[in-house]
Amino acid sequence: MRSITNLKHPPRFALASHEGNHLVLTSPEQCRIELFVLAEDIVRVLVLPDGELHGPRTWAIAPGAEDVPLEGRERRDMSGFTPSAFEVSNDGAQLVVQTACIRLAVTLDGGFCAWDILRDAVWHRVMNDRKTQSYNFGWWDERVYHYIERRKDEIYVGLGERAGSLDRAAQSYEMRNIDAMGYNARTTDPLYKHIPFYVTWQPQTRTGFGLFYDTLADCRFDMGRELDNYHGHYRHFVAAHGDLDYYFIASADTPLHAVRRFTWLTGRPAWMPRWGLGYSGSTMSYTDAPDAQQRMGEFIERCSEHDVLCDSFHLSSGYTSIDAKRYVFNWNHEKFPDIDGFVNGYLEHGVRLCANIKPCLLQDHPAFEEAASAGLLIEARNGEPAWVQFWDEVGAYLDFTNPDTIDWWKSRVKESLLKHGIAATWNDNNEFEIWTRDAIAHGFGSAFPAHEAKVLQTQLMMRASRDAQREFAPRRRPFLVSRSGGVGMHRYVQTWSGDNYTSWETLRFNLKMGLGLAMSGVSNSGHDIGGFSGPAPGPELFARWVAFGIFLPRFSIHSWNDDGTVNEPWMYPEVTQQIAALIKLRYRLIPYLYELLWQSHSAYEPVLRPMFAEFPHDPRCLVDGDDMMLGSSMLVAPVVDAGQTAREVYLPAGTRWVSYWSGESFNGGQTVSLPAPFEQPVMLLREGSVIALNVAQQHFGRPADERAFIAVPHAGAGTARGGSIEDDGESEAWRSGTQGRWNVTIASDVNALRIAVERAGSTPHTQDELRVFVPMHETRPVTCERGALLNDESANGWRCLTISTAP
């Protein structure tokens, strides 16, 4: 427990030590501030009011790595960081630390920090600690505080999935993972995830920065909603316990830099199998039915009947039921009399199963006594299980800070699921809602109150599931999904925005939730298409939701409608054909999505991007609208209002845009109205882009892949570039170099286009011809730097160039 000192005034600091990139400031009252220069654009500040660390190890910091040690990383561990040159000056009033792009000035009388960023050879002040009581030096309680001055023109983006507008200014948010079924996507808080990172952007100077608070504690961010006359305008962070340990990430010129660097700082995103980008069926009603195996078989029949492409199915927890309750790892043999036959039947149609698993054992679970006697559960101080409410019963959470629990969990995943042919795990209901202070976690041998690190349990659960899959099939890439999570979850899982409510409002604000997640380092995400909770979506809303969902890394139609209906592609005959066409469009775009996820894995690029983040110099992109960028090349403008047949969309200035459907070209800097039938969502390609497509004819159960590219050459001189990563889509062979890519460039001037197609590395495709589509109004003659132009024809607004790629 931290000792509380009654200080009348802020402490006076002096530089106590400077070793390498680590500086320590101390005060006579034992207060301590530690500075870590981690890179030219990343500086860390650790504030210890009594000079001692109170937080546990970190499981978040993994610079460029795939993971951290199972038991966590020491707080002062500097491995993974490359020392960066910096200067230190100290005039007795201020200590100044300066890198190539950050200047931090610490006022020694109080420890207040002021931050400058260098852009265009000019230093810009971007952040000041509040001059009054910016930190809690034992004045109030044991909580952790950080108060910062607030500017009225600032934009705040991030904090994971939050309800409401993309810009968090003037709002407050609580990070306390909770099962918020049926949430309001505009107002509900808290939600499922704990990601204490956000980007501040200052449009006037086109500078910004990211702030990451490394804490496992429940915490709150106030972004200017609170006012107090004694302190001026401010925003603040408050954590329930632990230490003030934050990372400042400079982000001049574009807010995306802070996102890339934060993602790098917290670990490399998982490279998942390509089939995880296909349509994933799901509904609770199938497995809740007494004839569940038959109902599941009917799904396959309907996919075949309507030619709905499908790669996976998320098996809801009804398969584990005993009567009306759910018991993780238990198979209900009355519902599923032939488990192996059921799984193999799906695999024969190319559909993999992702089984729901939950981290809480109900008190009458068949394995409860075994787990309790082995010490695998989170316990109260008296040694009894720490009871919690879970679904319709009382139970206890498994304690994943105990290595024995991890081993038990992995063995159950293998024996109950993987050995039957289940391909993946769906880690669900894993918010670990532990509120009592009486519950104790094992803590890898250093016990601590379980409520202090609930999100750690979530992270370790998904890691244990991932490791089970790796151990069972070491040559296969793991695929797993988790509803809840925290910083670092992108190293393990795909995620979604939880149990949303069916409404047009949810459709609009789920879009913003996904962008918030992407700007928080979590790109592999999506939503329950059609809405999970509430009434069934009407035909129009359902079609519009699918037309939006096909652009997200996770594409799953999932529901538990309270009117007993089921969200299925064929639920409304009047739009079934359009839904099937949209799903085929999704499969046409999978090579581009796969490339974007590779760029996320290899270069930490966010897949989804707010318009202002991609175009920070265009003031009109600062408006919190309903559009988004898919990568840097495609603008997507979903219809999020009822009764619309066209969509108005603002095209960012400084470039041309081309409609995917018509090939029509538009200059940026204007608003255009484009037709938006259900099966043709508004998609525009950016000048200079080259996007990979799958142009093979697709049918259910008969996957095919033929690579092609769609491109928008520069109108004048310039080079359009793009490509696609190519591998077998499922194995770990890419780690040993069995991977290749297509690279396509189109150099242009006023007179001609020069196309170069390169097939690099080990690609699984043997095609000797490649089609490249350019807008039909593009009439300049074409030459090929490699290969030969075999055919040149036009159709549907596009000019199709067939190029020989044979050696």
Q: What's the predicted TM-score (pTM) here?
A: 0.97
Q: Compute the average pLDDT of residues 702-729.
A: 96
Torsion, Cα 48 520 426 216, to 10 degrees, reads 10
Residue 609 CA to residue 514 CA, distance in Å, equals 9
Residue 749 CA to residue 516 CA, distance in Å, equals 39
Per-domain boundaries in the chain = 11-54+78-140, 274-361+395-608, 610-804
Crossing angle of helices 454-472 and 403-416, in 10° steps, is 50
Residue 760 token pair: 């690099």
Cβ 121 vs Cβ 112: under 8 Å = no
Whether 11-54+78-140 shares its CATH topology with 274-361+395-608 is answered no
- Tracing tokens 């200014």 back to the chain, one arrives at 169
Q: Mind listing the pLDDT tens digit for each residue in 528-577?
A: 999 999 999 999 999 999 999 999 999 999 999 999 999 999 999 999 99
369-407 residues labelled b (16+ CB within 10 A) or e (exposed): eebbeeebbbbbeeeebbbbebeeeebbbbbbbbeebbe
State residue 131's pLDDT score: 93
The runs of H, that is alpha helices, within 157-271 are: 256-265
Cβ 201 vs Cβ 41: under 8 Å = no
Beta bridge partners of 791: 802
Reduce the DSSP state of residue 483 to 3 states and report it: coil
Q: Mind listing the pLDDT tens digit for each residue in 624-642?
A: 999 999 999 999 999 999 9
- Tracing tokens 């930190």 back to the chain, one arrives at 135
Residue 232 token pair: 């001026």
Residue 630 token pair: 């898919």
Taking CA atoms, 346 is separated from 311, 350, 373, 558, 778, in Å, by 10, 7, 38, 18, 46
Q: How far is CA 378 from the centre of its chain?
A: 29
What's the CATH number for 274-361+395-608? 3.20.20.80
Beta bridge partners of 744: 722, 757
Q: Compute the average pLDDT of residues 338-363.
A: 98
Question: For residue 190, is the peptide bond before it cis, meaning its omega torsion is within 30 degrees of 0?
Answer: yes
Cβ neighbours around 671 below 10 Å, total: 10
Q: How far is CA 732 from the centre of its chain?
A: 22
Q: Mind listing the pLDDT tens digit for each residue in 386-433?
A: 999 998 899 999 999 999 999 999 999 999 999 999 999 999 999 999
Beta bridge partners of 15: 25
Residue 712 token pair: 């928008």
Count of residues making up the chain: 807
Cβ 269 vs Cβ 247: under 8 Å = no
Q: Answer whether residue 579 shows pLDDT above 60.
A: yes
Beta bridge partners of 219: 175, 239
Residue 236 CA neighbour count, 13 Å, CB half:
22
Query: Residue 481: CB partners within 8 Å, gap ≥ 6?
Result: 314, 354, 424, 425, 426, 427, 493, 494, 495, 496, 554
Q: 194, exposed or middle or buried, with CB in 10 Å at 0-12, 13-18, 19+? A: buried
**DSSP secondary structure letters along 599-663:** HHHHH---SEE-HHHH-TT-GGGGS--S-EEETTTEEEE---STT-SEEEEEEPTTSEEEETTT-
Q: Mind listing the pLDDT tens digit for each residue in 279-296?
A: 999 999 999 999 999 999
pLDDT confidence of 9, banded at 50, 70, 90? confident
pLDDT confidence of 764, banded at 50, 70, 90? confident
Residue 134 CA to residue 276 CA, distance in Å, equals 45
Q: Answer whether residue 703 shows pLDDT above 90.
A: no
Residue 680 token pair: 């043709």
Residue 791 token pair: 């055919």
DSSP 8-state class, residue 536: P
Q: Which residue has the higher pLDDT, 3 or 382?
A: 382
State residue 5's pLDDT score: 58
pLDDT confidence of 699, banded at 50, 70, 90? very high
State residue 512's pLDDT score: 98
Mean pLDDT of the chain: 96
What's the CATH number for 11-54+78-140? 2.60.40.1760
Beta bridge partners of 58: 73
State residue 7's pLDDT score: 67
Cβ neighbours around 620 below 10 Å, total: 16
Residue 694 CA to residue 672 CA, distance in Å, equals 29
Query: Residue 253: CB partners within 8 Å, gap ≥ 6?
Result: 119, 206, 207, 616
The amino acid at 126: V
Q: Compute the average pLDDT of residues 586-591.
A: 98
End-to-end CA distance of the chain: 70
Q: Compute the average pLDDT of residues 164-178.
A: 97
Sheet holding 144-149, edge to edge: 144-149, 234-239, 219-222, 172-175
Q: Determine phi and psi for 648, rounding to 5 degrees.
A: -85, 135
Q: How far is CA 343 from the centre of its chain?
A: 29
pLDDT confidence of 606, banded at 50, 70, 90? very high
Nearest to 25 by CA among 90, 118, 121, 115: 90
- Least trusted range by pLDDT, from 127-141, 418-432, 513-527: 127-141
Taking CA atoms, 22 is separated from 46, 515, 692, in Å, by 11, 35, 46
Q: Does domain 610-804 have CATH number 3.30.60.50?
A: no
- Tracing tokens 């044979």 back to the chain, one arrives at 806
Residue 528 CA to residue 503 CA, distance in Å, equals 12
Reduce the DSSP state of residue 508 to 3 states and report it: helix
Cβ 610 vs Cβ 620: under 8 Å = no
Sheet holding 798-804, edge to edge: 782-784, 753-761, 740-748, 718-726, 689-694, 707-711, 769-775, 798-804, 789-795
Residue 271 CA to residue 477 CA, distance in Å, equals 8
Query: Residue 79: CB partners within 8 Å, gap ≥ 6?
Result: none
Beta bridge partners of 158: 198
Nearest to 584 by CA among 597, 564, 569, 563: 569
DSSP 8-state class, residue 299: H
State residue 369's pLDDT score: 97
Q: Answer whether residue 3 shows pLDDT above 60.
A: no
